[in-house]
Chain A
Amino acid sequence: MSAICEQVDAALAGSRPALARLLSIAERSGPELLEIEDRISARVGNALVVGVTGPPGAGKSTLINALLPHALKDFDGVGVLAVDPSSPFSDGAILGDRVRMQGGEYGSSVFIRSMASRGELGGLARAASTAMRLMDACGWSLIIIETLGIGQVELDVMNLADTTLVVLNPGWGDTIQANKAGLTEAGDVFVINKADKPGADVTRTDLLESLSLLNREPPPPVCQSTASTGDGVAELWTALRDHQDYLEQSGQLDSARAHKQQLLVRRTITHQLTHEVERLMDSDLATSMLDQSTLGQLDLRQTVDRLLRELARPRG
């Protein structure tokens, strides 16, 4: 048995260090990914996944921390995947979610993992997807994924979730125009956090107005909370549960999961192809063809066709 498979088996048997190690492997998006996916596939599909997104500083981590005690009444284990952006200059990152989300008081029933977005182009979504499936397979029955709702890449991650919670603050409408539409479309449940600050009512009206334009049926609930005191958090948890019940009863959970599976396959193919293209472009063949192309001895179509044929050729 390969080392990876041994790790997976250990993780499936409940080893936290093994799960942690596998999550690192998933983050690197290396060739072991398919091996991991193979080994866990039979065990995946039991967890409910809640995505939490919203602008920076909306209080997402604090809110998740406040949701944990409620969630642990309904689920015996909660996994949290907290995604923060990588620096575009150094590829490094500072991941600060654990400062607000220690989970220590819940002992072994909470597993928190920080993840840097590491560039774009769906790589994040793919790593997050495998990470989520790993946690799922290892028996974490509720998984919460947190990302910044600032761009398409982050919102893409929300496709992994059964229920997406969008966290906003009073005054939201004035500060982030850019991705307002993306956020309102992404959410299944909305919460105006820091509702004790002035402007909560205006924001609520503003949000309800934006949502009414989308004509969604049933209209998504809009909750209010103050995560720092715990006010409104129990009600928010109920709203999240109600949405999950609705998904199950309406059969949407199954169709949504089929859609997710399709996205996963598509992403995996794209990812593999990208690797193959990289390898091809590094080959002697590509180098010599590029030289000819630069000298004008080959036109673009000829070059591309030849290389595509090479890509499709089965390797022995």
Chain B
Amino acid sequence: MAKTGLDGHWRGPTIVARALRDAGFEVIMIGMANTDDIVRAAVDEDVDLVGLNVGGHIDVAIRAVNSVQEARPEVPIFAGGTVPPRSVKMLQDLGVEVYPPGSQLADIVDAAQRLTATR
């Protein structure tokens, strides 16, 4: 679970991490992380799923998504955060599941279970 931006709102990622832990996931929090940090963690930790908290400019998130997909093409990515509808669409086009503010935690946990079911 990483936060792509440098603006430090931690609200979303901590709540989601907690819900995932309570559903039995091992959640590796890497905090504010740039693309290289995210890719390094995704590879070295041999993760099954990447969660991105994105905010700010969508190009930053897209760069992280592209790099993770290049390094670990088989690993699904889901994202949440302050993402306006048109950016949601851009991420979805890359195969990322997006959970904007107001999403239900239960849906996020379901998604994590579904996305990792075959792994």
CB of B36 within 8 Å of the partner chain: yes
In contact, B30 and A90 (Cβ under 8 angstroms) = no
CB <8 Å contact, A113 and B27: no
Decide: B46 and A21 in contact? CB cutoff 8 A: yes
Given the interface pairs A90-B21, A92-B20, A94-B18, the reply to whether A20 lies near B44 with Cβ below 8 Å is yes
Verify B40–A93 contact, CB threshold 8 A. Answer: no
CB 8 Å contact bits of A1-40 with B (1 = contact, 0 = none): 0000000000000001100110110000000000000000
List A residues 60-110 near B (Cβ within 8 Å). 86-87, 89-96, 98-99, 102-104
Counting chain B residues whose Cβ lies within 8 A of the other chain, the interface size class is 20 to 34
A98 touches B41 (CB 8 A): yes
B28 and A98 form a contact (CB under 8 A): yes
The closest CB in chain B to the CB of A80 belongs to B44
- The interface size bin for chain A is 20 to 34
Closest residue of chain B to A20 (Cβ to Cβ) is: B46
State whether the Cβ of B6 lies closer than 8 Å to any Cβ in chain A.
no
Q: Chain B residues with Cβ under 8 A from A94's Cβ?
A: 17-18, 21, 27, 29
Binding site for A on B (CB under 8 A): 17-18, 20-31, 33-34, 36-37, 40-41, 43-46, 72
18 interchain pairs (CB within 8 A)? A16-B43, A17-B43, A20-B45, A21-B46, A86-B26, A90-B22, A90-B23, A90-B24, A92-B24, A92-B25, A93-B26, A93-B27, A95-B29, A99-B29, A104-B36, A104-B37, A112-B44, A113-B45
With A94-B27, A114-B28 known, 17 other A-B pairs at CB within 8 A are: A20-B43, A20-B46, A21-B46, A24-B46, A86-B26, A89-B22, A92-B21, A96-B29, A98-B28, A98-B31, A99-B30, A104-B37, A104-B40, A112-B41, A112-B44, A113-B44, A114-B26
Task: Name A residues whose Cβ lies closer than 8 Å to a Cβ of B.
Answer: 16-17, 20-21, 23-24, 86-87, 89-96, 98-99, 102-104, 111-114, 116
